[in-house]
Every structure is written in structure tokens, then in C-alpha cells.
Amino acid sequence: MRSSFLRGAVLGLPLTLLASSIAMAQGGTDDTPDASAPDQKVTSLGEVKVSAATQKLAAPGFPATLASVPAEQVEATINAVDVEDAVKYLPSLFVRKRNYGDTQPVLATRTWGVNSSARTLVYIDDIPISALIANNNTIGAPRWGMTSPEAIDHIDMLYGPFSAAYAGNSMGGVMHIVTRMPDKTEVTVKQTEAVQSFDLYGTHGNYSTSQTSLTAGGRSGKLGWFFGANAMNSFSQPLSFITGAITPAGTSGTVPALNKTGQVANVYGAGGLLHTRMLDLNGELTYDITPEWKATYLVGYWSNHGQSRTDTYLTDASGDPTYGKVAGFASNTYQLSAHHLMQGLSVKSDTKGDYDASFVVTHYGFLKDNQWQPAGVTTGTGVTTNGRLASYGGTGWSTADATGIWRPQGYGGAHEVSVGAHADEYTLDNPTTNLSDWEDPDSLTTLYSAGRGKTRTQALWLQDAWTLAPGWLFTLGGRYEWWKASDGYNFSGKTAVQQPVEKADGFSPKATLQWSVADDWRITGSLAKAIRFPTVGELYQLVQTGSTYSVPNPDLKPETVRSGELAVEHAIEQGMVRLSLFQENTKDALISQTSTLPNVAVPVTFVTNVGKLRNRGIELAAQKTNVLINGLDLSGSVTFVDSTILSNDSFASATGTTSEGKHAPYVPRWRATAVATYRPDAAWAFTLAGRYSGKQYSTLDNTDNTPHVFGAFDSFTVFDLRAHYQINEHLAASFGVDNFTNQKYYLYHPFPQRTYVADLKLSL
């Protein structure tokens, strides 16, 4: 009963907001302050900028749906510890963040889920930070730490692959983190403390996080600068559980349980209790070459050191703790050390004239990225002396983009023609080496396994934004891409394979027609084709994650998407309402699948091409300030997606099940967000926010229908609270609770339970 009430609250708030908004637009009661009041100001969300005096939709900056969140809103309303926290309430988005300091916070969108890191693009200004080295939850997450939360001006989310300027990886959307550059010297110091109370199976405890952030920025003549440093010391809840089908001989303490497919998976203990010490250093320099041309240099250094321990529930006949000779305790005991460096340089003009151009080059390098663990367990709670070290050192990527803009009729004329070229190279180097002493990462002996290779992509694109007539904007474009995979190599045991060279190319047309029916109404129809080529990780990665092995598939074909969206937007007094209908048909979808293969003792993850897949749905989003009373702001969204596998001839099941007609993995049918913020005065902001996600499947045949167990993908309803107090011009304090109803749910991993967050920020 309680769960139904909470779910209804999350779903009901956007609909209540919509009804209130429509009533206001039709001349209902207006409780907003008088337009002449001194504190009246413009309010913005997404593409909408309205005030009590002007109710107009802003000029579109993207040929499809766009949503936005400003930095001021993030600080006042969100318990944001990391950069990625800022987008948690945007429509249809979900960031898979398992713990503070998580290295795998993948972005999920309305048509693709948490195992689709290569189906979205994320940028800091013009610099891409997406890790298109893989399409998974291990090394595929965007590099969020390349900027600081205090450097952000706002974040835009562009939905769908409707711009020719972006690669086919934009099928899920494009996120732009737009930074700011202070006009005068400023310094901020922020201290954040968080404590999670966790209780599941035999693991009970409080897990803390402490973070210190320092930023400094300013301008000296033509030179602008902004630097940030962020140090975090974090203890996570268990990220996994060690399970098995029997009770280990001579032990007691096993917790009876099932796995996601309903088979016996008794719990022996918890694993992945991770202690992380992380350091982010980032900087941005801008130089005004001329009044029209500006150069920007972005640099980010990331350092991470951690140790994972286990918590066994098993005891022997004497009552002493034991691992019961279960190998899973060894794979959940590990240490890690990583150092990454990213650099980006852009040169861009803003002439407000006939021509503009930009040039961007980036490089991301895994200077060091090691994880080492024992090879197995011995008696009691002992582990073997020998072990293995998995490394990504030498992995990295480089990108280059050149863009030109021509306005035949001048700035603001009927045509704006854009043309561009793109090139990238992604290199994977992922050996696993035996160690004579698992606690000494320098005690390397023989090669255990290896996966390496390269992918390269070149592209040319052209796009014209054409004002056909007053109120009519037609955007037509196309992108041609050439892709090559080479130098593929895999080694496992005593078998070495040189993988064949693969090539592919394709053309992706785009078209969008926007009709501004009136100042406060706009209808947008968009159609696009997008091609996503396999990542080097999907082709060649061979790695162990816990007790699951990822195996390569060098014969993958590109996936092709045909997307369409019809969006209706309406600006109301101090708010907006948007309704979007969308459909996406995917051919040869690249989907990761985990199963137990014949004659293989452990689970195996592999990527396959799924014949045809269709995502179609509807999204309702609304926002309004000063609802019923002055100072009460409401926003929310509801998204429904019917994601169906239409054909999949390559699917084989030992139990005779089929994947055709089933729901696509990792895409929930329903999602919703709701945010209510009350500002009684300029100093205080109180926020109640909720997120709902429906049941997800992680198998192609939807046989994982047992909820609330390790490995399952549960539905969840999570509510968050935040109180923000601007003490004075220089000092602000906040206190909040994430998941304050303490919902216990899994998205494969057990996700955080009730967490208290407090921060104090000093600005000079």
C-alpha cells in the first residue's frame, strides 16, 4: 500500500502541474506576483524563457527537444556531490551512480538504458568527454571529473540523433555541460559530508564520504582562467554479493536466496565494500585572440586508489568466520590504482557575421590503470599468495573536429549553412598478467589473457537551417562516416588470435521542421538516421568482472537507427509544457548479454547483433514557478516507452525461450520525475524531489523476472529532500537526505539506501 501511494505521488505531481499550467494559460486564478514587483525576474528551463510580461518560446538552438538545468537550480535543489548529480531530475534521464566516487556512472536516456554508454555523447563546452572506448559499465562512463561543479553555468540535454554535427552515438542524445568564466577573481571552498545507513542480509553499517573542493577563477586582460581541485575519501555499501547454489561443506550462515531468473543463489557474504581515495584536478584557460576569436585549453587529471574487502556470513564448526572455499570471495578482494590525463584545445570564432568556424582537438590517456586480486581462496578466510593484475595502461583516444558556418544573407538571415569534418582513434590495451604475490603489483610473471585493438572513424557532414517563412524553420543535413577496426588481438590461456580487419561506412540523413504557430506555441517534427559502429571494447575486450567473464566478438556489424519525434511546446505564464511522441527503430542492435554457455563453468558476457528492435513512446514534461503561492516552483516529467524486440534470428536458448516480442534489456516501460521547491525568501530553498523507474530486464528473453535479488533490475521510487540556506553573500549551507524513505532496490548492484548529505560552501 505504501509503495503504491509513493508511486502515485511521483506520477501525480507532473500531471497536477500540467493541469495547473493549462488552467493558468486559459485564464484561471493567477497567484503570481505583480509584473511590476521589484523581485520579478525571468525564469528559464530548457528552451523556454518566460516572465509575467512576456510569454514566448525562446528561439530553438537545436533541431529537436532540448531540456536544461542552470547551476543556480542545482545548488539550491539537488544534493549534488559529483558533476553527474546535476542532471538527475531532467526528463527521462538516469545516471547509474552506485556510490560516491563511482567510476562507472553511465548515462541512460529515454530509449536506451544503463548498459549503453556509447549511445550518448557528453561534452564540456566543445570538448567531448564520452568514453567511446566501450559500450558498458566498466570503462564506458563519461569522464565527468574533467570539470568542477562550481565551473558549470548550465547543462543542456539534446534528445535524439537529429543534428548532422554529431556522430551516430547521439542516438540516445547529446549532453552539453556549459561552463562559465568569471570576469573577476573568485575562490570557493566547499566541504561535503555524507553518511549512508545500509542494512541488507548480514551486512549492517554506516558508510561515510568526505569531500573537499577548491576552485579559483578570474580574468586578467585577454586571459581567463578557472582551476578546480576535488579530494574525496569514500566508503561504499556492498556493490555485490557472493552467491552459490549450495551450502559450502562444513559451514553455517548461508542466507537462502534466488537469482534474477528464479534459480537458487544462496548468499554467502557481501563483496565490493570499496574504500576509495580520489583526486580530480582540472583547469580551463581561455585567451581572446581577437574580439571575435577565442582559444580554450582544457586539462583534467584524475587519480584513484582503492581497496575492496568482503564480509563473509559463513562460519565453520568452531564458529569462526570462513570463506567456505568459495572463489567469489577472492574476486571481490582487490586493490586498484589509476591515473588518467585529458587535454583539449579549441579555437572558435563568434563574429555575428557571414562566417564562423571552430577547431577542436582532444586526447585522453590511461597513464596507469591497474586492478589486482588474489587468484583464489584457501582455508578459513585466507586467500592465495599468487594473483592477477588487469591493466588498461596505454588505452586512450584522440579526436579532432573542424566546423565552418556560412550565412549567405548575413547574421539572422534565412540560411545558416554548417559544414564539418571529424576524425577519431580509440585504442584498447587490456592485458591480465599473473602475479607471484597478489599484494605486490610489480611481481608480474606470465600473461594470463589479453585484448587489444583500434578503431578509427572519419566523417564529413553538412547542414542547413533554413527559415522558409516567418515562423517556419527547416533544418536539413547529412553525415557520411567511414569506420575501420584493426590490430585486434586476443589471448586466453594458451590460445592467441589475430583478429581480422573490419571496415564499414554509411550515410545518415537528418531533417527537422519547426512551426512556431504563435509566440507561445511551437510544433517540431524530426526524422533522422544514425549509424553506431562497434566500439573497440565490444570487439576485443576480454576481462573478468567479479565471477563473470566478458568475451570479445570481432564480427559485429554496425547498428542502424531510424528515429522520429513530434514535439508540441507551449509557453505559459512563468512556465512551459511539452508533449513528445517518439519512435526509434534499430537494426542489428548491439546488445550485451550474460548467460551460462555449454561447457563453461562461469557466466559469460558477450555482445550480439539483435535483428530488429523498436522503441516508441510518449514524454510529458512541465515546469512552472510560483504555483498557487509565491515562491513554490514545480517541475516534472512522465515517460512511457514500449521497447520491443521484433526479430532476433541469432538468439539461442538452452531452455527453448524466445526473445522475439520481448521487452528490450535495460529500458523501463515507465519513468517519472517530480520536483517541488519552496523559497519563502531569497535566503532559503526547501526541495522535495522524487524519481520513479519501472521494472527492467537484463535478458533478451525476459527470463529475469525475480525481483529484489542481487543481479535483478528492480523498479524503484526514490524521494530526496534538501534544504539550502544562503547565510550571506559569501557563505551557504545545505542539508539533505537522498532516498529518505529507504527504498531497497537493485540495478544489478544493491543501490544506496538512506543517505544524509551536508555541505558548507565559502565563496570569496
248-306 residue pLDDT tens: 999 999 999 999 999 999 999 999 999 999 999 999 999 999 999 999 999 999 999 99
3-state SS of the chain: helix, strand, coil percent to 5? 10, 55, 35
pLDDT score for 548: 57
Question: Is the pLDDT confidence value at 10 over 90?
Answer: no
Alpha carbons 600 and 736: distance in angstroms, whole number = 47
Average pLDDT of the segment spanning 527-551: 82
Q: Is the pLDDT of residue 446 over 90?
A: yes
The answer to whether residues 218 and 124 touch, using CB atoms and an 8 Å cutoff, is: no
In terms of pLDDT, which residue wins out, 460 or 56? Answer: 460
Q: Say if residue 490's pLDDT is above 70.
A: yes
Task: Yes or no: say if 590 and 532 are a contact pair by the CB < 8 Å rule.
Answer: yes
Neighbour order of strands in the sheet with 152-158? 66-70, 152-158, 174-179, 121-124, 127-128
CB 409 within 8 A of CB 415: yes
The per-residue pLDDT for 11 is 44
Measured CA to CA, the distance from residue 198 to residue 268 in angstroms comes to: 18
The per-residue pLDDT for 19 is 44
Per-position DSSP letters for 377-412, written without gaps between them: B-STT-B-S-EEEEE-TT-EEEEEEEEEEE-TT-TT
Residue by residue, DSSP assigns 247-291 as PPTT-B-PBP-B-TTS-B-EEEEEEEEEEEEEEEEEEEEEEESSS
- Unique residue bearing C-alpha cell 547529446: 174
* Least confident among 21-30, 146-155, 188-197, 411-420: 21-30
pLDDT at 53: 39
**Can you spell out the DSSP letters for 443-477?**
-EEEEEEEEEEEEEEEEEEEEEEEEEETTEEEEEE
Distance CA 761, CA 150 (A): 10
Residue 16, pLDDT > 70, answer: no
DSSP 669: S
The per-residue pLDDT for range 232-253, each reduced to its tens digit, is 999 999 999 999 999 999 999 9
What's the CATH fold of domain 2-763? Maltoporin; Chain A (2.40.170)
pLDDT tens digits, residue range 609-632? 999 999 999 999 999 999 999 999
Residue 756, SS3?
strand
Please check the confidence at residue 524 and state whether its pLDDT lies above 90: yes
Rg (C-alpha) for the chain, rounded Å, is: 26
- The single-letter code of the amino acid at 515 is W
> Is the CB of residue 128 less than 8 Å from the CB of residue 143?
no
pLDDT tens, residue by residue, 328-369:
999 999 999 999 999 999 999 999 999 999 999 999 999 999
Angle made by CA atoms 564, 565, 571, in degrees to the nearest 5: 165
Q: What is the pLDDT of residues 382-404, one digit of tens each?
A: 999 999 999 999 999 999 999 99
Give me the mean pLDDT over the 582-608 stretch: 75
With a CB cutoff of 8 Å and minimum separation 6, the contacts of 140 are 104, 106, 117, 118, 131, 132, 133, 134, 535, 537
pLDDT for residue 63: 82
Q: Which three cell numbers stand for residue 271?
A: 563483496
Give the angle 497-502-505 at the CA atoms, nearest 5°.
165
Q: How far apart are CA 758 and CA 129, in angstroms?
A: 29
* % the chain with pLDDT above 70: 90
Least confident window among 34-38, 59-63, 397-401: 34-38
Report the pLDDT averaged over residues 566-577: 94
Residue 354 to residue 260: CA distance in whole angstroms: 59
Task: Residue 199: count other Cβ atoms within 10 Å of its Cβ.
Answer: 14
CA-nearest of 291, 331, 248, 280 to 148 is 280
Give the pLDDT score at 595: 58
Rounded to an integer, the average pLDDT of 23-47 is: 39
Check residue 650 and give its pLDDT: 76
Percent of the chain at pLDDT > 90 equals 82
* Residue spans per domain, the chain: 2-763
User: Which has more confidence, 600 or 738?
Assistant: 738
Distance between CA atoms of residues 60 and 719, nearest Å: 33
CA distance 536 to 132: 8
Cα(531)–Cα(538) distance, integer angstroms: 16
pTM of the model as a whole: 0.90
Query: What mean pLDDT do residues 169-180 have?
Result: 95
